[in-house]
Amino acid sequence: MKIKARGTIDFPALANLHIPRGKGLLCIQIGEQYRPKMAEQLKALSDRQISLYDKARQKYAETPPEQRGRAPEYYDNLLELELDLTIHFRKRSINANNLYWKILEIEANWINGSFAYRSGYWSKRLPDQVITPQQIHDDDLEVYCEKTQYFVPKASLWGFRRGVEYELGKVMVTEPIGDGNTIRVEVWKTTSFMDTKEFHVWVQRVIDRITDGGLLRTDEAEFITLREDFKEILKEGKKR
């Protein structure tokens, strides 16, 4: 018996059902249009089991007592289940995005006020340049985001770009190659195209970077407010 399923993980819905994350518990809801067919299949399996068991009982009764086992035995390989499951996570939420940019704002303020952290991690920036949340975001995209390249006929570039930026990512590079009739297109999977799982990893990287940088351990007066704001934002983010 084989089942192919596609679904979306909805963690709040699982929490409402008191199903813990990461426990390997999978709940499958059969769509209404498939339920009659599913009922037919289950009845056919049940009838098959009854038939096999009846045959096993008859054979058991015809077997001499000294050769019998403890009970009739029968096997039904059709009851083995093979599940082909594709899981799709939802797109990152507006709340998660707001949380991310607020954390970047705190990181930018921390970088601008901490010479050691600034020179250690952001050495490519000029010493007297004010670091903005957007710059941090752009730097992270350049280093960490998933990048894919395509080779597209020049005449098809506009349509390809429109389709890609609607679904897959942002076109960051278009470069003619050879005689110019083929374009190398580099697509970046920016945060706008990330699902909840990918975006969680993305935000957690920033959180780890701030905590490893020492913001939570500082007692300097100019950073105490930032530290408390950071703690409160994480607390609220986890609640959401």
- What per-residue confidence (pLDDT) applies to 240? 43
> pTM of the predicted model, to two decimals?
0.61
Whether the per-residue pLDDT at 239 is higher than 50: the answer is no
pLDDT tens by residue, 80-118: 666 676 767 778 888 889 889 999 998 888 888 776 665
- Of the CA atoms within 13 Å of residue 174, those in its CB half-sphere come to 14
**Predicted confidence band of residue 147 (pLDDT cuts 50, 70, 90):** very high
Which is nearest to 106 in space by CA: 211, 240, 238?
Answer: 211
Q: Which of 8-17, 27-36, 67-76, 199-208 is most confident?
A: 199-208
Q: What is the DSSP letter of 125?
A: S
Q: Give the model's pLDDT for residue 141.
A: 93
Average pLDDT on 57-77 reads 80
For range 58-84, the mean pLDDT: 75
| Helix 94-113 / helix 196-213 crossing angle, nearest 10 deg | 20
Residue 180 Rama label (left phi>0; alpha psi -120 to 50; beta): left
Q: What is the percent of the chain with per-residue pLDDT over 90, rounded to a whole number?
A: 25
| Sequence ranges of the domains in the chain | 2-89, 94-146+189-239
